[in-house]
Structure 1
Amino acid sequence: MIKKVPNPIDRHVGSRVRMRRMLAGISQEKLGDALGLTFQQVQKYEKGSNRISASRLQQIAKMLDVPVAFFFDGAPTADMPAGGFSDSAATAYISDFLATSEGVQLTKAFTRIKSSRVRRRIIDLVEALAEEETGTA
């Protein structure tokens, strides 16, 4: 049996739903309840394995307090599919990270730091650690 691969745009929209839901501190169960769905259905939307209808996407956008267009920001286009080498590929990489729990936690904590000097030092530290990890130091 051939496994069906999710459409890249459906995956992108789903990951943006997940990112925004996590940033808002809403569980899959709570979002599902508000939409009249199970948390499993929300999971399928977020993975892109189930396509989100226009009316459902509008409901989700309203619940998460973002415009519908938010879910399409940085989406792959027909001339540049997901995984291609371009600025949109870099944007997708960032979006994928921000959709993880670590990405959300790091972003929330980082934005609470008031000092630009401290934020810059954190960036320098993370870059140094990444270089050390990859052996490019």
Structure 2
Amino acid sequence: MTSEIDLYVGKRLRRRRRLLGLTQQSLAEQVGIRFQQIQKYECGANRVSAARLFELSEALSVPIQYFYEGLSSHDPLFHDPDPDVIAPDVLSKKETMDLVRAYYSMGEAPRKHLLDLAKSLEANTKPNLRLVST
């Protein structure tokens, strides 16, 4: 039975893997398992053992606590979301990672212009959104 914590750990795993530009296959090879197992971890179908979590944290260059950051009984994951908060899992989406990579591949001046444009568009759509820190 999948728990909310298993889902949360899986989302954090996927987010970090994508941020580093790794495929499920390449991460699986680093820790000596099949890519299907990474898929199961990321969707929360399988629990990640303590030993495997250690191996994944090493492969992804994060401390083990990274997978639990922001997770508590007071976390929005366990409650109705605040309408003014962007869900933390937005960072695990491929589109978001593509946008971040494209943004940082630009020079400083184009990045500033793009950020100014995004802020002006945001002001016209849904003001006062904030990202839940994780």
Q: State whether TM-score is above 0.5.
A: yes
| Identical counterparts, % of pairs | 33
Q: In the alignment, is residue 98 of structure 1 matched against residue 98 of structure 2?
A: no
* Stretch deviating more after TM superposition (115-124 or 49-58): 115-124
| Residue of structure 2 equivalent to 1:44 | 40
What residue is the counterpart of 1:72 in the other structure?
Answer: 68
Asked if the contact 1:110–1:119 (Cα under 8 Å) also holds between the matched residues in 2, the reply is no
Counterpart of 2:93, as a letter, is T
Q: How does the TM-score come out when normalised to structure 1?
A: 0.75
Partner of 1:84: 79
Q: Report the TM-score, using the length of structure 2 for normalisation.
A: 0.76
For the residues of structure 2 that align with 1:41 and 1:31, how far apart are their CA atoms? 10
> For 1:95-129, what per-residue CA distance to the aligned partner results, in whole angstroms no more than 9, with x for missing partners?
3111111011112223445243541222323554x
Q: What amino acid maps onto 2:53 in structure 1?
A: L
Structure 2 residue 5 is the aligned partner of structure 1 residue 12: no
Which stretches in structure 2 are left out of the alignment for 5+ residues? 127-134
Moved over 6 A (4+): none
How far apart in 2 are the matches of 1:47 and 1:78?
21
| Aligned counterparts of 1:100 and 1:86: Cα–Cα separation in 2 | 18
Q: Aligned-pair RMSD on alpha carbons?
A: 2.5
Provide the secondary structure at the position in 2 that maps to 1:103: helix
